[in-house]
Amino acid sequence: MRMTGIPFEHVQPLSQAVAALGGPDFPDALRQLCLGACGFDSLFISVFSTDRPPVQLHSDLDPDATRRTVAPYLGFAYLLDPFYGLFASEPRDRVVSLDECAPDDFRESEYYRIFYAETGLRDEIAILVGAGANTSIALSLGLRREDHHADPSGKASLDALLPVISALCRKHWPEVCQVGPPDIQEPVFDRLASMPVSNREAEVIRLMLKGHSTKSIARHLGNSPETVKVHRKRIYSKLKISSQGELFSLLFGQ
């Protein structure tokens, strides 16, 4: 049985989220609604902005997961996050899985090795809710526990719930565009401006660190793979490094 396009089994948690709107129990009710729809087991909510780092709104992570995940993410890792990159390129309401937005070499990237693999995430779905100019509320639904299994129809259920979830989030966090300190340091990628690389080489660096393969970088830049390899060789020579790991450390200080 379905009601207004929403699976019947989600009607009760949805009604509980509506009832909790505006109160301290709303994030937990929203958690039950979202995780119940997809079978995942963790929720982290933050504000994405194009001109400042993300700001945490809610987290159900334990202290150890918070140490490994939240602090480095808010500090630097968000710049290489596929979901943040998708938001920055086209902010709008959407439900998207990691596999749908991650670059082709994501799991071979330094970002994955140094940060993502340490988070304990086995899979991830993001719900992005537009919340004003260049701002979105980002719900990160994570699959961490080995005894939890994703619902194959979970993303479809979240797609059906998206209009309601979006409306609830905007209603509960009406001042979200003002969240965060007004004086924000320049993004880490601005360090590229002070490095002895060209604008095109700086773009190659961004794409490399986000997990794009040589062929993917070539497609993005309209070059041949051979040209990208030349750019990469010049980058390493100019920066006196020999690996992507050294490049990551040079840029992010990790």
Q: Across the 254 residues of the chain, what is the mean pLDDT of every consecutive 10-residue run?
A: 61 94 96 93 93 90 88 87 91 94 91 89 95 91 83 90 96 74 50 85 87 87 91 91 82 69
- Both 22 and 115 in one domain: the answer is yes
Of the candidates 144, 125, 111, 80, the one whose C-alpha atom is nearest the C-alpha of residue 245 is: 111
- The boundaries of the domain holding residue 6 are 2-178
Residue 78, both tokens = 């968000």
Q: Whole-angstrom Cα distance, residue 180 to residue 195?
A: 29
The predicted pLDDT at position 2 comes to: 41
- Both 169 and 229 in one domain: the answer is no
Residue showing tokens 């051979």? 226
Check: pTM over 0.85? Answer yes or no.
Answer: no
Asked whether residue 29 is domain-assigned, the answer is yes
- Both 119 and 173 in one domain: the answer is yes
Instruction: Tally the domains of the chain.
Output: 2
The predicted pLDDT at position 211 comes to: 79
The predicted pLDDT at position 43 comes to: 96
The predicted pLDDT at position 38 comes to: 92
- E-assigned strand segments in 107-177: 123-130, 135-143
Query: Please, are residues 83 and 101 in contact by the beta-carbon 8 Å criterion?
Result: yes
Query: Please, are residues 213 and 105 in contact by the beta-carbon 8 Å criterion?
Result: yes
Residue 224: its H or E element: none
- Both 44 and 151 in one domain: the answer is yes
- Both 161 and 240 in one domain: the answer is no
Residue 93: its H or E element: none
Q: Whole-angstrom Cα distance, residue 176 to residue 48?
A: 10
- Both 155 and 241 in one domain: the answer is no
Residue 242, both tokens = 């020999």
The predicted pLDDT at position 185 comes to: 45
- Both 16 and 116 in one domain: the answer is yes
Q: Whole-angstrom Cα distance, residue 212 to residue 4?
A: 40
The predicted pLDDT at position 183 comes to: 41
